Copies of this chain bind each other. A is one copy, B any other.
Amino acid sequence: MALGTELSIGQVAQRTGVAVSALRYYETQGLLQANRNAGGQRRFARATLRRISFIIAAQKFGFSIARIRELFVNLPENRTPNETDWSKIALEFRAELDAKIASLEKLRDNLDGCIGCGCLSMKKCALYNADDKVAAHGAGAQLL
């Protein structure tokens, strides 16, 4: 495969560190798109690497695939996203990040005041009554 052209799924996997199976999964979830060559194999545009880079980062922050898909609807489908396209997403993303970090810090500070405070009532406990905005709306692990 010549340089400057599209990439096979294996090449994308190697460059991003994301498993081939995960890339195929992302495609089924609408996070990635791929052309097909004559033999039916996926060929990814180089701009896809950037999308994947974003997916990796967003997942580290705990964003679900559904939420990432929502952010991606702002990216153009018929041309390679430019800096302005990404900046719009970054703005929205950044705001959510700040909110999440602030929420975690608040929870941490509540914890400081509560652990060892001797309170036995869940009703009065600052920890228990901490900002629920950090709580998951579904099941499963969070943050790490």
Residues of A within 8 A of B (CB): 15-16, 46-47, 49-50, 52-54, 56-57, 59-64, 83-84, 86-87, 89-90, 93-94, 97-98, 100-101, 104-105, 107-108, 110-112, 114-118, 120-123, 125, 127-128, 130, 134-136, 138, 140-144
Alpha-carbon gap, A117 to B87, bound state (A): 9
Number of copies: 2
Q: Which residues of B contact A15 (CB under 8 A)?
A: 122-123
Given contacts A61-B143, A141-B140, A141-B141, contact A83 B134 (CB under 8 A): no
Q: What is the distance, in angstroms, from A60's C-beta to the closest C-beta of chain B? A: 5
Q: What is the distance, in angstroms, from A7's C-beta to the closest C-beta of chain B? A: 11
